[in-house]
Structure 1
Amino acid sequence: MTDHREVATVVRWPGRLPANESGLAGLLAAYHLRTEAEKGAPVADVDGLPDRYRAEVTDPRGVFGQDVVLVAVLEDAAVGCLVVTSPADGQSEIKRLWTDPGYRGRGIASALLRAALAHTAENGVHTVRLSVWEWRTGAIALYERLGFTVTRSWDERDQLVCMRHAS
């Protein structure tokens, strides 16, 4: 049985520094290292990541300074994250949804997504889009349960599924 009460209210950033910014960096590192491995280009550590991904890990405030970063906290530990880009033309994008594998199955990703959708609706965003690798079938199923639909791709990378949620 999933116990959603364990997940603390998500911390919104900017405007409020997550209590454990290194926890956010750790989540982003895990996300990127896993993604590179799944794409068939594993790297040993953060230093081996492409520059743009390494920058997210080493300076998340600098990279995502204009965006909203949501961090799920459980017992003072950062256990999940998600980035919502600043709106442009009534649209935002969700990036970097990640839950620490040791905490999966507790509704953390769902809580982050719901918080992101609530945030975008509160800020007049009409469409939220995201992209996800086609092999991440669990994530795709979660997005679909929360009202995202597959749409025409805006990204030319092979095996990437583009989805949108209209409010």
Structure 2
Amino acid sequence: MSDERDVVIDRWPGGTAAAESGPAGLLAAYHLRTQAEKGEAVPDVDGLPDRYRAEVEDPGTAFAGDVVLVASSGDAAVGCLVVTAAAEGRCEVKRLWTDPAYRGRGVASALVGAALAHAGTAGVRTVRLSVWSWRTGAIALYERLGFRVVASWDVREQLVCMERAV
């Protein structure tokens, strides 16, 4: 079975064939799960709100100017993360998703580590993110990686905002 030593992180597009198959399926899983967790489950991508459906259908356009990282193990894309373009010395990490079959193997940590490394080379001083309060495992991961809870910049209820210096 694979573990974190078998995981390769590539910038998308580019890199391995698995990374080229890309973030679309991973983003679909992320958004469908999030909608269900919000109590607004939809049967498929067609039922997603327009902005989320657009990310799944055309991530290249949706994330133009951002960096999309894809984790792959062998020929399978197993995780993704988006790093927004730097602005005013900071960037945001979003859409972190690991295929449930690969959780607990360091995929998410590797993706966040790659995002932090990218941010450092891009001259970013602060990386921030927001995460739903019910995603306690993700919050614990972010805290282990040095993020701390900060005052919210987003008005959505149950959203936890976090940041860390690079």
What's the TM-score bracket when you normalise by the shorter of the two chains? over 0.9
- The yes-or-no answer on 1:121 pairing with 2:139 is no
Q: 2:90 aligns to what?
A: 91
Q: 1:3 aligns to what?
A: 3
Q: 1:68 aligns to what?
A: 67
Once the two structures are TM-superposed, the CA of residue 22 in structure 1 deviates from its matched residue by 4.0
Partners of 1:160 and 1:68 in 2: CA distance: 23
Partners of 2:145 and 2:156 in 1: CA distance: 24
Stretches of structure 2 lacking an aligned partner (at least 5 in a row): none
- The yes-or-no answer on 1:54 pairing with 2:49 is no
Residues 23, 77 of structure 1: 8 Å contact kept: no
Residues 18, 71 of structure 1: 8 Å contact kept: no
Alignment of 1:1-167 (within 5 A): 3-8=3-8, 10-13=9-12, 16=14, 19-20=17-18, 21-167=20-166
Output the TM-score relative to the length of structure 1: 0.94
Q: Aligned partner of 2:89: which letter?
A: G
Q: Aligned partner of 2:29: which letter?
A: A
**Distance of aligned partners of 1:31 and 1:92 in 2 relative to their CA distance in 1, 3 Å threshold:** same
Percent identical: 71
RMSD of aligned alpha carbons = 1.4
Aligned-partner SS, 1:81: strand
**Distance of aligned partners of 1:17 and 1:74 in 2 relative to their CA distance in 1, 3 Å threshold:** closer
Q: Aligned partner of 2:150: which letter?
A: T
Number of corresponding residues: 164
Q: Aligned partner of 2:153: which letter?
A: W
Q: Aligned partner of 1:92: which letter?
A: C
Partners of 1:62 and 1:17 in 2: CA distance: 19
Output the TM-score relative to the length of structure 2: 0.94
Stretches of structure 1 lacking an aligned partner (at least 5 in a row): none
4+ runs deviating over 6 angstroms? none
